[in-house]
Amino acid sequence: MLALSPYRSARDEFEGEASVFLDANENPFNSDYNRYPDPHQRQLKQALTTVKGVSGNQIFLGNGSDEAIDLLFRIFCEPGRDTVIIPQPTYGMYQVSAAINNITVAAPRLTTAFDIDVHATLAAANGQAKMLFLCSPNNPSGNLLSREKIIELLNAFNGIVVIDEAYIDFAPEHSFVPDLAHYRNLVVLQTLSKAWGLAGLRLGMAFAHRDIIELLNKVKPPYNINTLTQQVVWQQLHQPEEMQQHVQLLIAERQRLVRELQSVSCVRRVYPSQANFLLVKMNDARSIYQQLVKQGIVVRDRSNVILCDNCLRITIGTPEENNQLLSRLLHL
Ligand SMILES: *Cc1c(COP(=O)(O)O)cnc(C)c1O
């Protein structure tokens, strides 16, 4: 991987100012989107350096976080040989990506409070694992992992530690991005899909030491972030007020839903959440899921997931949507 020479696009070969571009076999007509996008997303990264407090060479941008996850497997793992550690339950994409890349998964459990079991995590794969995935706040449970335990693992684990912070903007804890200076084996994933409300644009971010970012950039397809996404995200990053308002509203709605769900008779337990969803243990999750679907309300049935017996995962919606959900649940 270190020896790989990446594809060089026309935009890589020539970077200066010019007025006649006859180098990339583009069509000169239809002028809004006829040119290839910037393969290095320079303006977008410039905007992100301000928002995230990192330098441009510590940022990788992918077609969703999912692209970054896939590339990390392809860079750091040997198919058919290597193992990664994915404490369960968590986001399913790590495991799918491991399977696609023919990588073995060691799956220690989180504790019953969905926090890290440091001993079990380090004991998995006998110290031979290449990567460790931690998701904080964790999906589907919603809780933050303990910061002290994450730091213990960052110090003790002999491989890449990926911390997925897809939901960090809904949480009171600060990001691990400022800790990149101390840990060369740390990769922090974030996304525009949740707090920023831009899931349809597909923009995921990986923050890491510049050596890791360089590898990600070598392996990615040259034009992985399209022009429209680069433009719209750039504009959004310059007006964060709307995002911040929506996040505050969703947090307030989360707190209201926690309170109100506790007095619903089919609800057995609402797990603490620092994300934009709640894990809720029901009397009979399968049947409640189906009754809600009949009324046009779709939640996520997680009852087959380890430690999530009889649990539904409910995304926080608008106040009106949350009211609809509550009134349906009260009348079941
Ligand atoms: C939603 C989510 C993502 C976002 O993935 P994108 O591909 O960026 O949309 C990443 N990680 C977790 C844990 C998620 O729940």
Q: What's the rounded Cα separation, in Å, for the pair 210 and 203? A: 20
82-119 CB burial, b ≥16 within 10 A, e <16: bbbbbbbbbbebbbebbeebebebbebebeeebbbebe
pLDDT of residue 193: 97
Report whether pLDDT(2) > 80: no
Mutating to test ligand 1, I would choose from 61, 63, 66, 170 the residue with most ligand atoms within 8 A of its C-beta, which is 66
Distance from Cα 189 to the centre of ligand 1, integer Å: 9
37-64 pLDDT, tens per residue? Answer: 999 999 999 999 999 999 999 999 999 9
Q: What's the rounded Cα separation, in Å, for the pair 332 and 315? A: 19
Distance from Cα 166 to the centre of ligand 1, integer Å: 6
To 5 degrees, how large is the angle CA 212–CA 213–CA 219? 95
Split at pLDDT 50, 70, 90, the class of 9 is confident
Split at pLDDT 50, 70, 90, the class of 10 is confident
Q: What is the mean pLDDT of the chain?
A: 96
Q: What's the rounded Cα separation, in Å, for the pair 140 and 314? A: 9
| Residue of minimum CA distance from atom 10 in ligand 1 | 166
Report whether pLDDT(304) > 80: yes
DSSP codes of every residue in 155-169: HH-SSEEEEE-TTGG
Q: What's the rounded Cα separation, in Å, for the pair 88 and 91? A: 9
Q: Which tokens go with 236?
A: 């959004």
In this prediction, residues 12-29 reach a mean pLDDT of 87
Q: Residue 68: how many CB atoms within 10 A of its CB?
A: 25
In this prediction, residues 110-123 reach a mean pLDDT of 97
Contacts of 120 (CB under 8 A, 6+ apart): 87, 108, 109
| Residue of minimum CA distance from atom 11 in ligand 1 | 166
In this prediction, residues 181-196 reach a mean pLDDT of 97
| Residue of minimum CA distance from atom 14 in ligand 1 | 166
Q: 3-class DSSP state for residue 96?
A: helix
Q: Does residue 64 have its Cβ closer than 6 Å to ligand 1?
A: yes
Distance from Cα 70 to the centre of ligand 1, integer Å: 13
Residue listed under structure tokens 């020896």? 3
Q: Does residue 229 have its Cβ closer than 6 Å to ligand 1?
A: no
